[in-house]
Amino acid sequence: VPYGGMTDTWVKKHRLIYIGATRHPFILSIRDGTVDLPAFKRWLGQDYIFVRAFVPFVASVLIRAYEKGDESSGDMEVILSGLGSLNDEIAWFKQEASKWGVDLSQVAPEKPTQHYCRFLEELMRPEVDYTVAMAAFWAIEAVYQESFAHCLEEGSKTPPELKEACQRWGNDGFGHYCSSLRNIADRLLEKAASGSMPLVKVSEDVVSKAEVTFLRVLEYEVDFWNMSCGTA
Ligand code: HMH
């Protein structure tokens, strides 16, 4: 079924950057089983820090959905389920860290993690449009979903001890959740793009800001993977 939303247009238009984020050498090394364990542990510690910062960001999107969305849209339910998964995710990080002997209390955020967390904080500011924040939210989750699902595809040689990590983001339920986020983002973008005449300029501004934000997410994701590989 052809997909015709704005997010689809962006993915096609920025295909190489999108591939750079979702088929990064770090992910490919998990998929072909050549992953370096120190790299995986580094990713684990840094992603734990990221996820802790991601929770208040998602909470801020939930507040916007409550304020700006209409009740019948179901946006709040989708975002709330996301917060629920983040609760499980934090517990999983702690358990996984102890399995690999990573002391999370001793992990300091590296530069790419700091920059990415600061970007999330910027997106929480009141002047940021709900549409822009939602587009970022979708992109952040979609990169992980596409990356880790790739490690579980037929023919992949992902080491068994890393399969659970890949399953967290690569499972069908998470894929469905990402589609729901994408539908919300597309609906908001469509609404912004078709704003009534006097608002056209403002609305176009929202759509282009959302596209720039999408690109920034992809760049932060690539930097994050590079850091995990130790090539940052
Ligand atoms: C860096 N991006 C990064 N970490 C994550 N856990 C996700 C996206 C998805 O939640």
Give pLDDT tens digits for 79-95: 999 999 999 999 999 99
Q: Where are the domains of the chain?
A: 6-229
* Active-site residue flag, 219: no
Taking residues 183-207, report their average pLDDT. 79
- 1 falls in which pLDDT band (50, 70, 90)? very low
Residue pair 9/211 in contact (Cβ under 8 Å)? The answer is no
51 CB under 6 A from ligand 1? yes
Length of the chain, in residues = 232
Q: Identify the CA nearest to 190 among candidates 40, 57, 8, 2.
A: 8
Torsion-angle region of 107 (φ positive above 0: left; ψ -120 to 50: alpha; else: beta): beta
d(CA 190, CA 184) in angstroms, rounded, equals 10
Distance 211 CA to ligand 1 centre (A): 19
What is the position in ligand 1's atom list of the atom closest to the CA of 220? 1
As its CATH architecture, domain 6-229 has Up-down Bundle (1.20)
Q: Identify the CA nearest to 178 among candidates 147, 215, 145.
A: 145
At a CB cut-off of 8 Å and minimum separation 6, what does 74 contact?
none
Give pLDDT tens digits for 18-62: 999 999 999 999 999 999 999 999 999 999 999 999 999 999 999
In this prediction the pTM is: 0.94
- Ligand 1, atom 4: nearest CA belongs to which residue? 47
Distance 187 CA to ligand 1 centre (A): 23
141 CB under 6 A from ligand 1? yes
User: Residues 176-209, buried b or exposed e (16+ Cβ, 10 A)?
Assistant: ebbebbbbbbbbbbeebeeeeeeeeeebeebbeb
**The residue type at 197:** M
What is the position in ligand 1's atom list of the atom closest to the CA of 221? 1
Distance 92 CA to ligand 1 centre (A): 14
